[in-house]
Amino acid sequence: MSFNDKVVIVTGGSSGIGAAIAIEFAAAGAKVCFTGRDQKKLDSVAKECKNSLPLIADVTVENDLKKVVEETVKHFGKLDILINNAGIGLPANILSENAMEVFDTIMNTNLRSTVYLTHLAAPHIIKTKGNIVNISSICGLTVIAQNTFAYNTSKAAIDHFTRSVAAELASSGVRVNSVNPGPVMTEALEKTGEKTMEFLTQMTALKRISESKEVADLVLFLASEKAKGITGSILVTDNGALVNPNGN
């Protein structure tokens, strides 16, 4: 797949899935703006991207998101593809004293930022007849663990936001889809320890955890002309976790 002359924004691009997506787009010829909050990590990813614009940005700050779109269009002249990837997960039970604090933090980071950046980017993407890919999770489709109600809710909301905006933008020639990964081998996952990683491995039918590049490959497919008939879809890449509910 070639993305020569295509301009892409990737949020949360300084590590994990987002970094893999930025690197893969750059390798395919795209001009990539990717965001993060750690300059050293951004610089590290930029070394692997030929034509990139790394930007420090907090996706919960509206002015930062405005800057991302404005700087991208100013630097590259247009915008073709938006990848809403930035997200966090924090534990909380609905009975926890900090339940609403955690809920608001997660919803602002995972959902509101996706909605607002899409709102800002859509007029530019309409001009180029581009597309949007939202990074969701199988946690938006099922409950894997306790104390994750806020994260689960945010991802379920992203899925339905994807469908809704796909319907709204179809007449403008813009496609919108979600990618819903299961467990993915990232720096954050590695820090959870061997016990958690073994649990997640056994949770899947294929008894494996995906690499970030696998998710990136699916994102690039959805953003390419090969997926020109796909919009409003929720694509799962979970090594069969959803069809292996008992972890057998």
pLDDT means over runs of 10, the chain (248 residues): 96 98 98 98 96 98 99 99 97 97 99 99 99 98 95 99 99 99 87 86 95 98 98 98 80
Domain assignment of residue 128, yes or no: yes
Give the pLDDT score at 193. Answer: 82
What is the H or E stretch that residue 66 is in? helix 62-76
* Residue 104 tokens, joined: 């608001």
Domain assignment of residue 76, yes or no: yes
Instruction: Please tell me the distance from the alpha carbon of residue 66 to that of residue 79, in angstroms, as a whole number.
Output: 13
Domain assignment of residue 227, yes or no: yes
Give the pLDDT score at 186. Answer: 85
- To 5 degrees, how large is the angle CA 234–CA 231–CA 54? 80
Instruction: Please tell me the distance from the alpha carbon of residue 21 to that of residue 32, in angstroms, as a whole number.
Output: 10
Domain span at residue 168 reads: 7-234
* Residue 24 tokens, joined: 């893969």
Domain assignment of residue 15, yes or no: yes
* Residue 71 tokens, joined: 């700087």
Domain assignment of residue 246, yes or no: no
Give the pLDDT score at 132. Answer: 99
Q: How far is CA 176 from CA 24, 25, 56, 61, 66, in A?
A: 20, 18, 25, 23, 20
Counted domains in the chain: 1
Domain assignment of residue 105, yes or no: yes
Length of the chain: 248
CATH of the domain at 13: 3.40.50.720
Domain assignment of residue 12, yes or no: yes
Among 141, 151, 155, 175, the active-site one is: 151
Q: How far is CA 63 from CA 47, 56, 117, in A?
A: 27, 12, 11
Q: Is 116 a catalytic site residue?
A: no
Q: On the CB side of 26, how many CA atoms lie within 13 Å of its CA?
A: 22
Pair 83, 21: CB distance under 8 Å: yes
CA 161 to chain CA centroid, nearest Å: 13
Is pTM, for the whole model, over 0.75? yes
Q: How far is CA 246 from CA 54, 199, 200, 203, 204, in A?
A: 42, 12, 12, 7, 9
Can you say whether the dihedral through the CA atoms of 224, 228, 231, 233 is positive or negative? Answer: negative
